[in-house]
């Protein structure tokens, strides 16, 4: 479905699912320890603002990512709001078992598109990660929990440079063979550009039209929202961002914050694309983030706010 609203000449969807990954991807690289209570309050605030999918935490080794050591406590403490999907990241079968025990609604599993980065990320080859992904998918399916595939560094790798499209498409084919129906392309270091995003999304949609495609946005080089626009005009209807624009990957040099969720929501709603999110409530949640992380954040909505509506026209008497 395309919208009659929006920018002339652009085909825009009527609706986009905006996923907030702040509690996981946003916080995982922060130096200041964030308490479980702070994470729970953040997740609950996002749900109340109308975010319909939240990446709440990750079930990874506490040694690898100490900030996520309280994953089970966080999942036990959040308010389960009706209509909200609580996703978690898992790297392996052990992580899946912990996630299922904690009541995860969706399991995100990352395979990085390049050998060097995948080794840095999970200490496995890409082939080993794909085999693990297949096992995780089968076990999660048995438990009745959907798996969402995430292809990390789908555009540019911090170690190997630009990733050839055919290399990405080959991995998408392997994902598709597992029977998954949802795939996220991650611009992990924020190095993609809009034309690159549009080309890859178009190629995947042409070959695997049944896959629901999403884009994980970073704003390292200032192109997060531009890439979001390129993605939705190419047919993507799910975008991942982070409240306040916080984030980064501990295993990827130069990976700074995600695109800001509130900035993304403002752009989409201004173009007539429905998100179901209260921008005012979301900004209120974002206002708590600098105190949580202990430093300023990149959100434009926090710095300037949305533009004021035009005053009503004066009528002559």
- The number of residues in the chain equals 317
Decide if 119 contacts 79 (C-beta within 8 A): no
CA–CA distance, 122 with 279 (Å, rounded to integer): 36
Task: Please list the active-site residues.
Answer: 249
Q: Is 304 exposed, middle or buried (0-12, 13-18, 19+ CB in 10 A)?
A: exposed
Q: Quick one: angle between helices 165-177 and 126-142, nearest 10? A: 30
Instruction: Give DSSP secondary structure letters for 234-296.
Output: TT--EEEEBGGG----TTSTT--PBPBHHHHHHHHHHTT-B----HHHHHHHHTTHHHHHTS-
What residues form DSSP beta bridges with 299? none
CA–CA distance, 43 with 65 (Å, rounded to integer): 19
Decide if 21 contacts 42 (C-beta within 8 A): no
Decide if 100 contacts 60 (C-beta within 8 A): no
Look at residues 1, 10, 75, 30 and name the one whose alpha carbon lies nearest to residue 271.
10
């Amino acid at each position: 479905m395309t919208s009659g609203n929006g920018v002339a000449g652009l085909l825009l969807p009527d609706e986009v699912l905006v996923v907030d990954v702040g509690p996981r991807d946003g916080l995982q690289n922060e130096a200041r320890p964030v308490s479980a209570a702070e994470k729970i309050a953040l997740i609950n605030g996002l749900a109340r603002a109308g975010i319909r999918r939240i990446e709440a935490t990750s079930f990874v080794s506490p040694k690898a990512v100490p900030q996520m050591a309280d994953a089970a406590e966080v999942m036990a403490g959040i308010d389960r709001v009706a209509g909200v999907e609580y996703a978690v990241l898992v790297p392996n079968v052990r992580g899946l078992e912990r996630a299922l025990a904690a009541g995860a609604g969706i399991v995100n599993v990352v395979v990085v598109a390049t050998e060097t980065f995948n080794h840095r990320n999970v200490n496995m080859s890409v082939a080993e990660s794909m085999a693990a992904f297949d096992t995780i998918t089968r076990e999660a399916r048995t438990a009745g929990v959907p798996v969402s595939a995430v292809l990390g560094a789908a555009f540019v790798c911090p170690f190997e440079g630009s990733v050839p499209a055919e290399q990405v498409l080959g991995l998408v084919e392997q994902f598709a063979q597992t029977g998954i129906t949802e795939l996220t392309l991650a611009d992990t270091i924020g190095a993609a550009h809009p034309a690159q995003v549009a080309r890859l999304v178009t190629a995947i949609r042409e070959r695997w039209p049944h896959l629901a495609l999403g884009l994980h946005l970073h704003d390292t080089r200032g192109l997060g929202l531009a890439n979001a626009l390129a993605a939705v005009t190419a047919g993507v209807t799910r975008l991942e961002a982070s409240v306040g624009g916080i984030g980064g990957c501990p295993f990827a040099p130069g990976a700074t914050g995600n695109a800001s969720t509130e900035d993304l929501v403002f752009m989409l709603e201004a173009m007539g694309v429905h998100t179901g999110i209260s921008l005012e409530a979301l900004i209120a949640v974002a206002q708590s983030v600098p105190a949580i992380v202990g430093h300023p954040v990149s959100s434009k909505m926090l710095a300037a706010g949305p533009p004021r509506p035009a005053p009503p026209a004066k009528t002559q008497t």
